[in-house]
Every structure is written in C-alpha cells, then in structure tokens.
Amino acid sequence: MDAFTTHTGVGVPLRRSNVDTDQIIPAVYLKRVTRTGFEDGLFAAWRGDEHFILNQEPFKAGSVLVAGPDFGTGSSREHAVWALMDYGFRVVVSSRFADIFRGNSGKQGLVAAQCSQSDVELLWKVLESEPGTPVTVDLTDKTVRAKDLVAPFEIDDYTRWRLLEGLDDIALTLRHEPEISAFEGNRQTWLPTTDPLPAV
C-alpha cells in the first residue's frame, strides 16, 4: 500500500445519501478475478445518465468525492473501494460511513474522511458554485480544505498511522505469530473443524 500524507485534486459533489455499494459498483461487475480494472463499473447505472456528475467537466477528472451520509452501506464488496480508486479517487468525504466500507478503504489506502454534515454542505456549495475547485486533504492535520473553507475530519488513529506509513496489515499481524500459536494451543478441543467427515 502506498503511503498517504496529503492529496490535492478536483472535488466532486455527490448530493445523495445512502450511496450503497450496489450503486458504487453493481454486482454484475464483481465477476472478475483480478484486482484492477474496476473503473468501468463505478456508479455504472448512474453513469448512463449524461447529467450524472461524473459525466460533467471538470468533475470527470475528480479525485475527492464529497457525498451525503451513510456512504458505502450494504454489501461487503471491497470492489467498491477498488472501483473508486481505479477511477482515480483518493478520498471520500461523508458525514457517516458504513463500517465495512470504512474498513475496506483503510486497507487499500482510500481515505474515508468523516466530516460534519454541515461541513459537507459547505463543501457542496463551494464545489457547485466553482466547479473544478481543488480540494486538499491533509492526513497529518486531519483537514479538508477548499478555497477558504477548512473542515476538520475524523479518522481512527490506527488507520491514520497505517495510511501515513503505508503499512501492510498482514505483515504487522505476523509479528505476533507466537501469540497466535499459543492461543491455538488453548482452544477448546470440541470446536469444529471443516475436515471432511467419514462417509456414514
């Protein structure tokens, strides 16, 4: 995972709440077995509409998505994060994220920046009145800046640290392998395994 400190890019106002992961990427795009190339599935149903924000200049080149509350609800598909990142997004700003989506974002290096809804509304106004306004997201001081607006955002400290350092979760966990083995040695013997059962 690449480290993230600050990012500046075109902000995209998405005035919708409850943007579920089926909207971010419909199931039909989940059939691939690769980890890249999901940009064509991003908001696929909405992109058929020429008025959709990502079909407008200069938002096409957006990299900071500013959305309504409850972003990323529904399915656990990490493809939603891959699709956003493959398209070019580095940050999603919302006043509330679904838990699984937030977790998936943190694993991939997409910053899920949680701002107050009033700041989201202010960002929408800036981005709509001056399309193409660059938005700067600074993970070191946890702010989103656009024009004169400086909006603080929340992200949990551990995810922030991992993003700033660009660290791989699995490698971090494997440092504790002896503790995992010790735990396994103490598990109840009656707990099930998936080993095939003898035919009756």
Single out the segment in contact with other proteins by CB under 8 A; choices: 4-12, 58-66, 72-80, 124-132.
72-80
Distance, in Å, from the CA atom of 59 to the CA atom of 127, rounded to the nearest integer, reads 10
Site string for other proteins, 77-116 (x = CB under 8 A): xxx-x--------------xxxxx--xx--xx--------
Q: The tokens of 38 are what?
A: 């999901």
Q: Work out whether 34 is an interface residue with other proteins (CB under 8 A).
A: yes
Distance, in Å, from the CA atom of 121 to the CA atom of 119, rounded to the nearest integer, reads 5
Whether omega before 26 lies within 30 degrees of 0, making that bond cis, reads no
Q: Please select the residue that binds other proteins; options are 7, 8, 16, 55, rule is CB under 8 A.
A: 16
Site string for other proteins, 138-177 (x = CB under 8 A): ------------------xxx--x-------xx-xxx-xx
Give the helix/strand (H/E) hosting 117: helix 117-129
Distance, in Å, from the CA atom of 192 to the CA atom of 177, rounded to the nearest integer, reads 22
User: What is the Cα 19 distance to its own chain's centre?
Assistant: 12
Applying CB under 8 A, the residues found at the interface with other proteins are 15-18, 20, 22-23, 26-28, 30-35, 45, 68-70, 73-79, 81, 96-100, 103-104, 107-108, 117, 156-158, 161, 169-170, 172-174, 176-177, 179-180, 183-184, 187-197
